[in-house]
């Protein structure tokens, strides 16, 4: 047993860290947000060409580097530390997951474009009423000759404003929350009837409300089997959840480091406030939460490729319970220990806190995953 | 022991409720309910309505415009205001500098400053914290140097709430640099239009402009603007920190917050397609919050009963501050949790452009995350909750 990264993975980590340190300063990031964009084309090009990370988790026969979940973890942890805005999660982790697990005929061509940086899919899975039930879909897809016709509304599609495509979950049959009848489609954003309303999220990235108004999608764009895609969706969302936890670990590490630095500099009552035992213990507890989160994220990353769907789901659910709780504890205390300064927009810590707070709930918070874990362990509660 | 309000109390409550229903501006309720932020004009307008009724400075002595209400009546007043979500009056004049002036001020100072506070014509701000002096307030370094019948003030204040609207400010300044920390501080009133006063906005993490840096550069202030003796300003400052702690627990407002969560959770769906309020985990958290709030409410009522019996609020008010702010924070956290995916969009990023065909989530979701982020301040300001625990350890437990 070991928890070491391979030489290649270590190189990948160092390369990403070095690039971000040169190109992704806090000020540069804030500038991108103020400009109203959540995306720098030059950064995405660098991800594709200079760093080659867009292909790191794709198989070699798809033109990638043959990596997988661990490579995504390595990249996402660094992205967390720099609060990267660009939507690697949707474009690479989610899209790559669908391509890998579906056997979809269009997969290799899309993979090639993603790796090159020319296709940037965003994941349109959430619906206004659905909360974290991925089968709760009002968006419908009706077969009509050689096409499906999509109608519906997808909520808070992160990365939507800069996406080229949407990967859309839609109902091809059954009732609103039935497990059967869920299908997945690739939709080119320029297709007639795709309407988007773009906005920034409070933690920095941009998102869209996406409306499908009689959007005609070729049958060749059906990813996976018609009406039987729920297990595929759940698997990919579990992979995305693990990757987002890696990002959360990077975010929390920064929250802890910034707090350690600040409390050793800030003086009150004639001494650095880090000298007060009550604050020392708080920072120790933050550190423990961080370490427990890293452990659970590694555990879930190593189990995410298991063919045992229950083992996989339990690993992800248990890890997310830990990470979600830690996002709250580490984030809130980082602000508290920064005092008034932590409340200001100009301090980086407040932005890490905002990101941690939203990552806590992304793909479901501690309650959602606790219920999942309980149900997988004991069956449904009576 | 008796939990009942008296018949007089109940009659009083009915009178207050009728007055508020009749006089609180409905358009303010509507705009704020739709997520807009209160403007200076809103605060002033409501203040003037109350002033006309004689209820703008309810806690003051009657001779200065107060009501003579009992602590229980003031408590009922606060409850009824929270029930309709009425704007609170800005505390800097009414609850802070006003009581300092009528307690420590000269007859001239009372005559000059109190009427403007009662009427709402003068907006005050508080110059206490400095960049290097937060929890350790007494280490403040802003200097006031006596030159003839003036002070020349130099220094920087920070976290000055709504200084952008202020006509006057009350500032703690060091007048004797050689004295021990708390000694050598004076309490000085400054006209914010005086040359050398510069207000610079500080933007908070939710994008709001509530607080400011205030720079004081060779600001010339007449000596008659000093309240109480020179170098004894800490006495006034301490009085102010201990005064009017009632309402600090925010019980009535947290109750309103929980009511709103119940409404939201009665609209939002849970994972199983039922209403969120019927979700076992969510309702457990709401129930826990209500129980914690009930405990706080009765702790506050016990403190109130002590006040009615003539005992002033003691250091145990720190309990109210700690628990009150923790509960406020949990209320906003639960609201953020309740709105699900729509907690993420940043409402300042999509000013209402009339695109009602493509709404960005329900209106009640727009402020959920900003409020959760914004109320982190409550466990930091007014003496951080760590400082409050120190106060209980020292002053209550004698440790």
Q: B340 at the A interface (CB within 8 A)?
A: yes
Q: Which of A136, A156, A276 sits opposite B342 (nearest CB)?
A: A156
CATH number at residue B274: 1.20.140.10
Residue A156 neighbours by CB under 8 Å, 6+ apart: A126, A201, A207, A209, B341, B342, B344, B345, B361
Q: What is the C-alpha separation between B330 and B340, in angstroms, rounded?
A: 16
Which fold, A7-120?
Butyryl-Coa Dehydrogenase, subunit A; domain 1 (1.10.540)
What DSSP designation does A90 have? Answer: I
Taking CA–CA distances from B129, the nearest residue in chain A reads: A340
Cβ within 8 Å of B, A 332-371:
332, 335-336, 339-340, 342-346, 350-351, 353-354, 357-358, 361, 365, 367-368, 370-371
Given a cut of 60, is residue B371 above it in pLDDT?
Answer: yes
Residue B239 pLDDT: 84
| Statement: A230-378 belongs to CATH 3.40.50.2300 | no
CB contact under 8 A, B380 and A339: yes
Asked whether residue B287 falls in the same domain as residue B387, the answer is yes
Set B183, B230, B244, B326: catalytic member: B244
Asked whether residue B79 falls in the same domain as residue B148, the answer is no
Q: What is the C-alpha separation between B70 and B9, in angstroms, rounded?
A: 10
Distances (CA, A) of A298 to A10, A49, A69: 15, 28, 10
Position B325 in a domain: yes
Position B115 in a domain: no
Instruction: State which of B169, B196, B231 marks the end of a domain.
Output: B231
Asked whether residue B152 falls in the same domain as residue B225, the answer is yes
Cβ within 8 Å of B, A 157-216:
158, 176-177, 195, 197, 199-203, 207, 209, 211
Q: Which of A126, A268, A370 sits opposite B135 (nearest CB)?
A: A268
Residue B89 neighbours by CB under 8 Å, 6+ apart: B43, B46, B47, B50, B56, B95, B120
Q: What is the C-alpha separation between A304 and B393, in angstroms, rounded?
A: 49
**Tokens 């045992």 sit on residue:** A308
Which of A126, A129, A131 is the mutation pick for testing B, counting most B CBs within 10 A? A131
Q: What are A343's two structure tokens?
A: 């409340």
Q: Which of B205, B346, B386 sits opposite A350 (nearest CB)?
A: B205
CA angle B56, B59, B62 (to 5 degrees): 85
Position B109 in a domain: no
Phi, psi of B221, rounded to the nearest 5 degrees: -125, 130
Asked whether residue B226 falls in the same domain as residue B266, the answer is no
Longest CA–CA separation in chain A, Å = 78
Q: What is the C-alpha separation between A165 and A114, in angstroms, rounded?
A: 11
Question: What HEC string does chain B produce?
Answer: CCCCCCHHHHHHHHHHHHHHHHHCCHHHHHHHHCCCCCCHHHHHHHHHHHHHHCCCCCCCCHHHCCCCCCHHHHHHHHHHHHHCCCCCCCHHHHHHHHHHHHHHCCHHHHHHHHHHHHHCCCCEEEECCECCECCCHHHCCCEEEEECCEEEEEEEECCCCCHHHCCEEEEEEECCCCCCCCCCEEEEEEECCCCCEEEEEEEECCCCEEEEEEEEEEEEEEHHHEECCCCEHHHHHHHHHHCCCCCCCCHHHHHHHHHHHHHHHHHCECCCCCEHHHCHHHHHHHHHHHHHHHHHHHHHHHHHHHHHCCCCCCCCHHHHHHHHHHHHHHHHHHHHHHCHHHHCECHHHCCCCCCCCCCCCCHHHCCHHHHHHHHHHHHCCCCCHHHHHHHHHHHHCCC
pLDDT digits (tens, 9 = 90+) for B103-118: 999 999 999 999 999 9
Could you count the other beta carbons within 10 Å of the beta carbon of residue B313? 18
Give the SS3 label for residue A202.
Answer: coil
- Any idea of the CA torsion for B134, B136, B137, B138, to the nearest 10 degrees? -160
The residue count for chain B? 399
Query: What mean pLDDT is predicted for residues B154-179?
Result: 97
pLDDT digits (tens, 9 = 90+) for B232-265: 999 998 888 766 565 688 898 899 999 999 999 9
Residue B21 neighbours by CB under 8 Å, 6+ apart: B84
Residue B371 neighbours by CB under 8 Å, 6+ apart: B206, B332, B335, B336
Query: What mean pLDDT is predicted for residues B339-348?
Result: 94
Residue A257 pLDDT: 98
Distances (CA, A) of A287 to A74, A295, A321: 20, 12, 17
Residue B4 pLDDT: 83
Q: What is the C-alpha separation between A13 and B148, in angstroms, rounded?
A: 67
CB contact under 8 A, A353 and B203: no
Note down the domain range covering B221: 124-231
pLDDT digits (tens, 9 = 90+) for B12-25: 999 999 999 999 99
Q: What are B117's two structure tokens?
A: 């506070």
In chain A, where does the domain assigned CATH 2.40.110.10 lie? 122-223
Residue B393 pLDDT: 95
Residue B223 pLDDT: 98
Q: A27 at the B interface (CB within 8 A)?
A: no
Distances (CA, A) of A379 to A133, A243, A310, A375: 17, 27, 12, 4
Instruction: State which of B231, B266, B288 marks the end of a domain.
Output: B231
Asked whether residue B272 falls in the same domain as residue B389, the answer is yes
Q: What is the C-alpha separation between A229 and A130, in angstroms, rounded?
A: 17
Give the SS3 label for residue A140.
Answer: strand
Cβ within 8 Å of B, A 257-276:
267-269, 276
Q: What are A31's two structure tokens?
A: 């500038």
Residue B358 pLDDT: 84
Position B26 in a domain: yes
Counting Cβ atoms within 10 Å, is residue B181 exposed (0-12), middle (13-18) or buried (19+)?
middle
Asked whether residue B278 falls in the same domain as residue B377, the answer is yes
CA angle B118, B119, B121 (to 5 degrees): 120
Q: Considering its fold, how many domains does chain B have in total?
A: 3
Position B246 in a domain: no
Q: What are B340's two structure tokens?
A: 């699900």
Residue B246 pLDDT: 59
Residue B245 pLDDT: 62
Q: B345 at the A interface (CB within 8 A)?
A: yes
Position B145 in a domain: yes
pLDDT digits (tens, 9 = 90+) for B26-56: 999 998 877 778 999 999 999 999 999 999 9
Phi, psi of B158, rounded to the nearest 5 degrees: -140, 170
Measure B296 CA to nearest chain A CA, in Å: 22
Splitting chain A (382 residues) into consecutive groups of 10 residues, what average pLDDT does each group show? 90 97 97 93 97 93 90 97 98 97 96 97 98 98 96 98 98 98 98 97 97 98 98 97 98 98 97 97 98 98 93 97 98 98 97 98 97 94 80
Residue B72 pLDDT: 87
Smallest Cα–Cα separation from A177: which of A117, A129, A109? A129
Residue B307: pLDDT band by 50, 70, 90 thresholds? Answer: confident
In chain A, where does the domain assigned CATH 1.20.140.10 lie? 230-378
Asked whether residue B311 falls in the same domain as residue B389, the answer is yes
Position B102 in a domain: no
Q: B139 at the A interface (CB within 8 A)?
A: yes
Task: Specify whether B244 is catalytic.
Answer: yes
Asked whether residue B297 falls in the same domain as residue B385, the answer is yes
Instruction: Name the region of B295 (left: φ>0; alpha: ψ -120 to 50; beta: rest).
Output: alpha
Position B277 in a domain: yes
Asked whether residue B273 falls in the same domain as residue B375, the answer is yes
Q: Mean pLDDT of all residues in chain B?
A: 93
Q: In chain B, pLDDT over 70 holds for what percent of residues? A: 97
Smallest Cα–Cα separation from A160: which of A37, A35, A34, A243? A37
Q: Which of B270, B276, B373 sits opposite A354 (nearest CB)?
A: B373
Q: What is the C-alpha separation between B260 and B271, in angstroms, rounded?
A: 20
Residue B7: pLDDT band by 50, 70, 90 thresholds? Answer: very high
Q: What is the C-alpha separation between A257 and A334, in angstroms, rounded?
A: 9
Its CATH class, for the domain covering A122-223, is: mainly beta
In this structure, of A45-59, B294-308, B351-365, the range with the lowest mean pLDDT score is B351-365
Could you count the other beta carbons within 10 Å of the beta carbon of residue A308? 10
In this structure, of A189-193, A370-374, B303-307, B345-349, the range with the lowest mean pLDDT score is B303-307
Smallest Cα–Cα separation from B391: which of B241, B246, B250, B249? B241
């Amino acid at each position: 047993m070991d928890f070491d990264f391979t030489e290649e993975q270590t190189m990948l980590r160092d390369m990403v860290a070095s690039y971000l340190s040169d190109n992704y300063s806090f000020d540069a990031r804030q500038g991108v947000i103020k400009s109203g964009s959540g995306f720098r084309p030059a950064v995405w090009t660098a991800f594709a060409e200079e760093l080659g990370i867009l292909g790191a988790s794709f198989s070699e026969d798809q033109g990638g580097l043959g990596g997988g979940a661990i490579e995504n973890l390595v990249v996402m942890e660094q992205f967390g530390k720099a609060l990267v805005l660009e939507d690697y999660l949707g474009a690479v982790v989610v899209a790559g997951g669908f391509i890998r697990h579906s056997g979809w005929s269009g997969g290799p061509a899309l993979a090639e474009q993603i790796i090159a940086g020319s296709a940037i899919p965003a994941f349109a899975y959430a619906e206004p009423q659905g909360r974290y039930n991925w089968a709760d879909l009002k968006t419908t897809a009706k077969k009509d000759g050689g096409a499906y016709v999509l109608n519906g509304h997808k909520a808070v599609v992160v990365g939507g404003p800069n996406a080229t495509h949407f990967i859309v979950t839609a109902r091809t049959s059954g009732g609103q929350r039935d497990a059967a009848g869920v299908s997945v489609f690739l939709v080119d954003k320029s297709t007639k009837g795709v309407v988007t309303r773009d906005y920034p999220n409070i933690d920095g990235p941009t998102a869209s409300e996406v409306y499908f108004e009689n959007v005609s999608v070729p049958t060749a764009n059906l990813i996976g089997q018609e009406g039987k895609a729920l297990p595929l969706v759940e698997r990919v969302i579990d992979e995305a959840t693990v990757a987002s936890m890696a990002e959360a670990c990077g975010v929390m590490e920064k929250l802890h480091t910034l707090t350690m630095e600040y409390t050793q500099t800030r003086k009150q009552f004639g001494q650095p406030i880090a000298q007060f035992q009550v604050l020392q213990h708080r920072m120790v507890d933050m550190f423990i939460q961080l370490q427990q989160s890293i452990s659970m994220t590694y555990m879930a990353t190593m189990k995410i490729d298991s063919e045992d769907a229950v083992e996989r789901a339990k690993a992800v659910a248990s890890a997310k319970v830990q990470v979600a709780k830690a996002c709250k504890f580490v984030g809130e205390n980082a602000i508290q220990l920064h005092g008034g300064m932590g409340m200001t927009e100009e301090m980086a810590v407040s932005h890490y806190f905002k990101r941690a707070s939203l990552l806590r709930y992304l793909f479901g918070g501690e309650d959602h995953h606790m219920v999942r874990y309980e149900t997988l362990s004991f069956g449904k509660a009576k | 022991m008796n939990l009942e309000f008296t018949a007089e109390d109940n009659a009083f409550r009915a009178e207050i409720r009728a007055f508020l229903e009749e006089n609180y501006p409905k358009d303010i309720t509507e705009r704020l309910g739709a997520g807009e932020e209160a403007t200076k004009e809103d605060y002033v307008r409501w203040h003037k309505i109350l002033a006309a009724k004689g209820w703008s400075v309810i806690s003051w002595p009657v001779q200065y415009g107060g009501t003579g209400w009992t602590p229980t009546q003031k408590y009922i007043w606060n409850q009824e205001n929270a029930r309709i979500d009425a704007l609170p009056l800005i505390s800097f004049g009414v609850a802070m500098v006003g009581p300092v002036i009528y307690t420590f001020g000269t007859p001239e100072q009372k005559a000059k400053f109190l009427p403007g506070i009662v009427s709402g014509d003068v907006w005050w701000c508080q110059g206490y914290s400095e960049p290097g002096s937060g929890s350790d307030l007494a280490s403040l370094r802003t200097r006031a140097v006596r030159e003839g019948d003036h002070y020349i003030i130099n220094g920087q204040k920070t976290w000055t709430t709504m200084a952008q609207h202020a006509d006057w400010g009350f500032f703690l300044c060091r007048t004797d640099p050689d004295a021990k920390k708390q000694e050598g501080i004076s309490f000085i009133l400054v006209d914010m239009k005086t040359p050398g006063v510069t207000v610079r906005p500080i933007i908070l993490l939710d994008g709001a402009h509530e607080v400011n840096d205030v720079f004081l550069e060779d600001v010339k202030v007449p000596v008659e603007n000093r309240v109480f003796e020179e170098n004894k300003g800490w006495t006034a400052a301490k009085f102010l920190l201990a005064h009017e702690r009632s309402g600090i627990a925010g019980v009535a407002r947290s109750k309103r917050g929980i009511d709103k969560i119940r409404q939201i959770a009665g609209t939002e769906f849970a994972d199983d397609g039922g209403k969120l309020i019927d979700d076992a985990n969510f309702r457990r958290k709401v129930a826990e919050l209500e129980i914690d709030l009930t405990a706080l409410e009765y702790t506050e009522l016990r403190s109130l009963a002590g006040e009615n019996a003539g005992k002033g609020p003691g250091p145990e008010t720190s309990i109210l501050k700690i628990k009150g702010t923790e509960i406020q924070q949990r209320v906003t956290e639960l609201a953020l949790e309740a709105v699900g995916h729509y907690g993420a969009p940043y409402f300042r990023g999509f000013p209402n452009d009339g695109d009602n065909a493509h709404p960005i989530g329900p209106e009640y979701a727009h402020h959920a995350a900003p409020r959760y982020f914004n109320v982190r301040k409550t466990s930091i300001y007014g003496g951080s909750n760590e400082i409050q625990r120190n106060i209980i350890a020292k002053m209550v437990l004698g440790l």
